[in-house]
Amino acid sequence: MKDLRNNSTILAIDDNPTNLKLLHRLLSAKGYSHVHLLTDSRETLSTYKMLRPDLILLDINMPYMDGFEVMDALFSLQEPLMAPIIVISAQQGSETTLTALEKGARDYITKPFERNELLLRVQNLLDAHLAHKLLNDQAQVLENMVELRTKELNDTRLSVVQRLGMAAEYKDEETGNHILRMSHLCQLLAQKMGLPPKDCELILHASPMHDIGKIGIPDSILLKPGALDAHEWEVMKTHAQIGGQLLGDDDSDLMIMARNIALTHHEKWDGSGYPNGLQQESIPVEGRIAAVADVFDALTSQRPYKQAWSIQEAIQYITSHSGTHFDPQVVDVFIAHIDDAILIKNQFQDE
């Protein structure tokens, strides 16, 4: 602690150069090698910001700004760990001392002072301040470590999420680029609808799992080249519930949104969708957004069983089903930003 103390920065503020030279001589003789002297109190804030001292020795009676005004200015910075202040003044009396302490001074010494008393008070306050700095630094290091670890865990979770979504798409003979296009379009629509930035980020990472439930659909149905019969179609529709169940045991914001999308992206505005026949705003907004994004990309993408629709044909289909299949507000936003949607589609084209 002694080495840290002697390497500390001390700022002495007094309009009398003789007093400053005395302080400098006393402190230097004690081993303090970073003592800075200031005669113009108006330069206190700029000097403080430049030096970030560990201790301030402050006179009261000074021109321009007296010691009380200097303390007011320093504490207006609202520093989380303000350097302790020792007031050194010729003014005696309890009123002056109390005022100085009320304004934030940690100690008050009257002139003329006793040399050893001053040095001991400097030593004690520096030791206390350095201990606080060490604790604060350790807390910051721990906070940074937790933040880094949280980011690593979140990145890992996002990677798993994306790969799960791709696994479902590959099983359905679709490409991983479908979920890239669909998820970025979901984010675009969420942003243009004014959702909070956090939710826009979540929907980007949660929407890739919209069809994760297809993992539970038999290949004989999922990969059937022709049209499904009534029974097969009912089995196919269960992928929404299966997806909700697969994502149902995690209470993180990401997985809650992913579950909502998996469960509701086939619900319809008029209540004719599945699995629960929800309608209008009883369908979570992320489900309503995903419905438009998913259908647009599905229509405009080529599959083994169909040709890709043109952009104009897909737009016509979506607008004609506004208010029945799709939320009219989402459709309006989609149409208003169709150029951005096309850019996303072109950016993540299938190979």
Average pLDDT over residues 154-178: 65
| Weakest-pLDDT range from 49-58, 165-174, 204-213 | 165-174
pLDDT digits (tens, 9 = 90+) for 96-108: 999 999 999 999 9
Q: Check residue 2 and give its pLDDT.
A: 57
Residue 158 lies in a domain: no
Average pLDDT, the chain: 88
Average pLDDT over residues 311-323: 96
Domain count, the chain: 2
41, 3, 46, 5: which is closest to 20 by C-alpha? 41
Residue 218 lies in a domain: yes
Q: Please report how the helices 328-336 and 176-192 are oriented relative to each other, as an axis angle in degrees rounded to 10.
A: 100
Regarding whether 19 and 101 lie in a shared domain, the answer is yes
Regarding whether 205 and 135 lie in a shared domain, the answer is no
**Angular region, 52: left φ>0, alpha ψ -120 to 50, beta rest:** left
Would the pLDDT of 349 be above 90? no
Q: Please report how the helices 94-102 and 67-75 are oriented relative to each other, as an axis angle in degrees rounded to 10.
A: 20
CATH of the domain at 27: 3.40.50.2300
Regarding whether 266 and 179 lie in a shared domain, the answer is yes
Average pLDDT over residues 222-233: 84
Would the pLDDT of 255 be above 80? yes
Would the pLDDT of 238 be above 80? yes
Residue 275 lies in a domain: yes
Q: Check residue 284 and give its pLDDT.
A: 97
* Domain C-terminal end among 106, 128, 143: 143
From the centroid of its chain, how far is CA 295?
32
More confident residue, 224 or 203: 203
Residue 157 lies in a domain: no
> What does pTM read for this prediction?
0.59
CATH of the domain at 281: 1.10.3210.10
Regarding whether 281 and 223 lie in a shared domain, the answer is yes
Separation CA 211–CA 207 (nearest Å): 9
Separation CA 199–CA 257 (nearest Å): 9
Which residue range is the domain that position 260 belongs to?
172-347
Helices (H) and strands (E) in the chain, counts: 16, 5
Residue 108 lies in a domain: yes
Confidence of residue 270 (pLDDT cuts 50, 70, 90): very high
Regarding whether 214 and 113 lie in a shared domain, the answer is no
| Torsion over CA: 17, 19, 23, 25 (sign) | positive
Separation CA 58–CA 41 (nearest Å): 9
Regarding whether 203 and 79 lie in a shared domain, the answer is no
